[in-house]
C-alpha cells in the first residue's frame, strides 16, 4: 500500500496498484487464478460498520467470480472480520484483537441469518458446478455458526453438516470433493439437489435460530465494550478459497509481492496490519 492510503480508505490509485499485483499473481501462479479472496479495508471502516454508524467507507475486494473492485464496506464483510478476530493470528504487525473493534456475537448471528434468508433466491444463480459446491458448503458453515457460534472452514463444515443433515451426506460429499480436489465447472452439476438442500437447510436454520438477539454474548465472551481503535491502519483480511490463502500485497513491487504471497499461502487465516 502507498503511504497515502494506509491511514485512510482505499482510493482509485490503490485499486490500480492492487490490480497490477493481482495480475502478476495470476501470471506467476496460474493455478490460483480465480481462487483468490482478499478484503482491503481500513480500521475506520470496520469500526463504522460494527457500530452501525451512518459513515460511508469504501473497501477493495477480490473473490472467486468477481474481479478486484471497490465496494462499500458493509455488514456483508462482518463474518470475515469476525473470523480474523477469532483466529487472532497476524502475519505481520499487531494482532487483530488490538486493531479491530470487538464484534458482538449478536451482530454475527444477524449477519449469518441475513445470508441464510437470501440463499433460497440466490441459489437460482448457481448453475455452475463450483457455485453449487460453494452453496452447499456455505450453508453448512452457516448452520454451524448459528448452532455453536463458531466460524469454521468449509472442510470442517462439511463434516458437521453430514452429522447435522445425514440425509444430505452424499451431496455434501460431492461438494467437498469438488472444492478440495480440483473440481471443474465442466463437471456434471446437481442443481435440483442443491436447490432442495438450500431450501431445507435455510428453513431448518431459521426455524431453530431466527430468535431475538437478547441473551447472546459478544464474540469475545461478554457484552461488547466499545473502545477507541488505535491510529487507523490499512488492514488486509485474507480468506481461504479452495486451499489458497493470501496476504499483504505492495503495489509497485508486484513480483516481490507475488513471491511473498507464495510464502504466506501456507499460513492460517490472518490479518496484516500496516501502521
DSSP H or E segment with residue 191: helix 191-209
Q: What HEC string does 48-68 produce?
A: HHHHCCCCCCEEEEEECCEEE
Sign for the CA dihedral angle at 147, 149, 150, 155 comes to positive
> What is the model's pLDDT at position 148?
94
Closest CA to 158 of 179, 176, 181, 180: 176
Chunked into runs of 10 residues, the chain (275 residues) has average pLDDT values of 49 92 91 83 91 92 87 91 87 81 92 95 92 96 95 96 98 96 89 97 95 45 33 40 36 45 44 46
> What is the model's pLDDT at position 38?
85
> What is the model's pLDDT at position 84?
86
Q: Enter the pTM of the model.
A: 0.70
Closest CA to 201 of 151, 131, 138, 153: 138
Do residues 143 and 203 lie in contact, with contact meaning Cβ atoms separated by under 8 Å?
no
Do residues 249 and 262 lie in contact, with contact meaning Cβ atoms separated by under 8 Å?
no
> What is the model's pLDDT at position 32?
83
Closest CA to 191 of 143, 244, 232, 131: 131
Q: All 3 cell numbers of residue 13?
A: 490509485
44 vs 230: CA distance, rounded Å: 10
> What is the model's pLDDT at position 7?
59
138 torsion bin: left (phi>0), alpha (psi -120 to 50), beta (else): alpha
240 vs 265: CA distance, rounded Å: 9
| Strand blocks (E) in 149-267 | 234-239
232 vs 44: CA distance, rounded Å: 6
Strand partners, 69: 61
Amino acid at each position: 500500500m502507498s503511504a497515502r492510503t494506509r491511514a485512510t480508505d482505499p482510493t482509485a490509485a490503490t485499486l490500480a496498484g492492487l490490480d497490477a499485483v493481482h495480475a502478476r499473481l495470476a501470471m506467476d501462479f496460474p493455478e490460483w487464478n480465480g481462487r483468490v479472496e482478499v478484503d482491503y479495508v481500513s480500521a475506520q471502516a470496520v469500526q463504522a460498520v460494527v457500530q452501525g454508524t451512518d459513515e460511508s467507507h469504501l473497501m477493495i475486494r477480490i473473490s472467486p467470480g468477481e474481479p478486484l473492485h471497490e465496494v462499500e464496506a458493509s455488514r456483508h464483510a462482518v463474518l470475515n472480520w469476525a473470523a480474523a478476530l477469532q483466529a487472532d493470528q497476524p502475519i505481520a504487525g499487531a494482532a487483530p484483537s488490538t486493531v479491530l473493534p470487538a464484534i458482538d456475537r449478536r451482530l454475527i448471528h444477524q449477519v449469518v441469518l441475513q445470508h441464510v434468508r437470501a440463499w433460497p433466491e440466490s441459489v437460482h444463480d448457481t448453475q455452475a458446478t463450483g457455485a453449487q459446491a460453494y452453496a452447499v458448503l456455505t450453508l453448512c458453515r452457516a448452520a454451524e455458526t448459528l448452532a455453536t457460534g463458531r466460524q469454521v472452514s468449509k472442510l470442517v463444515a462439511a463434516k458437521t453438516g453430514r452429522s447435522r443433515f445425514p440425509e444430505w451426506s452424499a451431496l455434501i460429499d460431492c461438494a467437498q470433493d469438488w472444492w478440495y480436489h480440483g473440481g471443474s465447472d465442466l463437471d456434471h452439476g446437481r442443481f435440483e439437489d442443491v436447490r432442495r438442500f438450500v431450501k431445507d437447510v435455510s428453513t431448518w436454520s431459521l426455524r431453530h435460530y431466527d430468535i431475538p438477539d437478547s441473551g447472546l454474548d459478544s464474540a469475545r465472551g461478554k457484552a461488547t465494550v466499545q473502545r477507541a481503535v488505535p491510529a487507523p491502519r490499512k488492514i488486509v483480511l485474507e480468506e481461504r478459497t479452495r486451499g489458497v490463502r493470501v496476504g499483504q500485497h505492495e503495489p509497485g513491487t508486484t513480483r516481490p509481492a507475488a513471491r511473498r504471497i507464495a510464502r504466506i499461502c501456507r499460513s492460517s487465516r490472518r490479518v496484516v496490519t500496516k501502521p
